[in-house]
Amino acid sequence: MDFRIESDSIGIKKIPKNAYYGVQSLRGANNFKITGSKMHREFVKSLIQVKKAAAITNYEIGMLDGHMAPAIMMCCDEIINGGFQNEFIIDPIQGGAGTSMNMNANEVIANRAIEILGGEKGDYSIVNPNDHVNMGQSTNDVIPTSGKITTIKLVSNAINKLTELVKALDEKSKKFKNVIKMGRTQLQDAVPITLGQEFEAYSSVIKRDIRRIRKAAEELKIVNMGGTAVGTGINADKEYISKIVYNISMVSGIDLKQSENLIDATQNLDGFSAISSAIKTCAVDLSKMANDLRLMSSGPRTGIGEINLPAKQNGSSIMPGKVNPVIPEVINQIAFNIIGNDVTITMAAEAGQLELNAFEPVIFYKLFESIETLANGVDTFIDNCIVGITANSKRCSELLNNSVGMITALTPYIGYKTSAKIAKEAINTGKSIKEIILEKNILRHDEYDDFINPSRMVKPEYIRKTVKCK
């Protein structure tokens, strides 16, 4: 392999001659062999969009030469459109607050721009990674801004998936509106509810999650670009500071705003904590829903068996005919992972010191994973589970009629103590509460059917009747 020699403040290093990355990128790649992964492709795109906007801004204010700016911008467009992805060689978890990420972008852009201008890669007298590509910038404003842009893009896709889930749940709610079943609290029989009402509740909580995520994502539109190292704007032209965020908005298509306090925006990563928390809360809600579906479909013959989940694959290598709730199970596992990621993000955001938080790389690594696994999980949840759920109406009715929870409707008229005695007798004898009530002449047959009417009991407007009980 042919090499070229590059140097930095640490010393000299051999770089593969055809590589677009440079000495600082290679040092970072060698120092941080951590996850075996590379920077997220969407993050690379966001980072290059920031670089393109910086070149545009520096050109507009006369800081970047007219022959150099078009070459830098052309290179940025090539990368944004998917080119040179193998040249981004840095592990997503790294020390240095993302300096290796930033320099990887600077070096790839510089070397490709050099090539466009007719030079040879590594000849930084033509285009310099630091002086020209990184002009007016610091890792400390470029990396958090790129992370915010990436998060907003990924969140947008997740919200689209969650919106599709709401639609699927709403459709099931309508389909199951007349399926009356026994509601349960603490896994014990409670009072009647419809399967449709349960699915409507699932839809409601996901709608709330969407609102929460959107609100957190809005905060991420406030960026610290122009703050450079610590938020004071050192080494950045005043005109650059005033124009850079607008140009990033134009390039990225996201309506960003410059923070009113660039020092605060450089020091603190609470926006990432907030969006991670919103994603975690959504994952918790999805996991709870998955738990319910597993319980309601359990058995099916020896469990609750009120709903049927679509069969997606064999459930056992030894038990013929067994089908497991694999999609709800993967939703549970996604939630466990997201909860763990949120802990990592929380600790990393807290660990910042003074003017900078050095732990943005791990925040981005875990946050991007959380958002993507949530979106992918919701996608399979809809297609491979929710849309295929059917109600076992006969089983729902059977469990409802055998439950002692129906006695609750009589409590206002015969008293809690008497109702409890009837419930206890039903449990001990196996008789239904209807049998006991009729045997004891507490109600006539027609009165019982009027009082204990499940179709009326599930409605919010259920009104206590004034029939006098014996």
Three-state SS string across the chain, please? CCEEEEECCCCEEEEECCCCCCHHHHHHHHHCCCCCCCCCHHHHHHHHHHHHHHHHHHHHCCCCCCCHHHHHHHHHHHHHCCCCHHHCCCCCCCCCCCHHHHHHHHHHHHHHHHHHCCCCCCCCCCCCHHHHHCCCCCHHHHHHHHHHHHHHHHHHHHHHHHHHHHHHHHHHHHHCCCCEEEEEECCEEEEEEEHHHHHHHHHHHHHHHHHHHHHHHHHCCEECCCCCCCCCCCCCCHHHHHHHHHHHHHHHCCCCEECCCHHHHHHCCHHHHHHHHHHHHHHHHHHHHHHHHHHHCCCCCCCCCCEECCCCCCCCCCCCCCCCCHHHHHHHHHHHHHHHHHHHHHHHHHCCECCECCCHHHHHHHHHHHHHHHHHHHHHHHHHCHHHCEECHHHHHHHHHCCHHHHHHHHHHHCHHHHHHHHHHHHHHCCCHHHHHHHCCCCCHHHHHHHCCHHHHCCCCCCCCCCCCC
Each residue of 58-94: pLDDT tens digit? 999 999 998 999 999 999 999 999 999 999 999 999 9
Residues 287, 316, 317, 393: which is the catalytic one? Answer: 316
Classify domain 402-457 at the CATH topology level. Ribonucleotide Reductase Protein R1; domain 1 (1.10.40)
The domain 3-135 belongs to what CATH superfamily?
Answer: Fumarase/aspartase (N-terminal domain) (1.10.275.10)
pLDDT at 8: 92
CA separation for the pair 336, 242 (Å, rounded) = 43
Cis peptide before 310 (omega within 30 of 0): no
Answering whether pTM is above 0.85, one says yes
pLDDT at 301: 84
Same fold, 141-234+255-394 and 402-457: no
State yes or no: pLDDT of 198 exceeds 90: yes
**Domain residue ranges in the chain:** 3-135, 141-234+255-394, 402-457
Each residue of 253-270: pLDDT tens digit? 999 999 999 999 999 999
Confidence bin at 460 (pLDDT 50/70/90)? low
CA separation for the pair 418, 3 (Å, rounded) = 91
Note if 156 is an active site residue. Answer: no
The whole-number average pLDDT for the span 317-345 is: 92
* Residue 189 near residue 208 (C-beta atoms within 8 A): no
Confidence bin at 319 (pLDDT 50/70/90)? confident
**Residue 148 in tokens:** 């915010």
Classify domain 141-234+255-394 at the CATH topology level. Fumarase C; Chain A, domain 2 (1.20.200)
pLDDT at 462: 53
Higher pLDDT, 414 or 307: 307
State yes or no: pLDDT of 366 exceeds 70: yes
Each residue of 396-433: pLDDT tens digit? 999 988 888 788 877 887 888 888 888 898 889 988 88
**Of the ranges 125-139, 217-231, 320-334, which one carries the lowest mean pLDDT score?**
320-334
Q: What is the mean pLDDT of the chain?
A: 93
In degrees to the nearest 10, what's the CA dihedral of 301, 304, 308, 312? -70
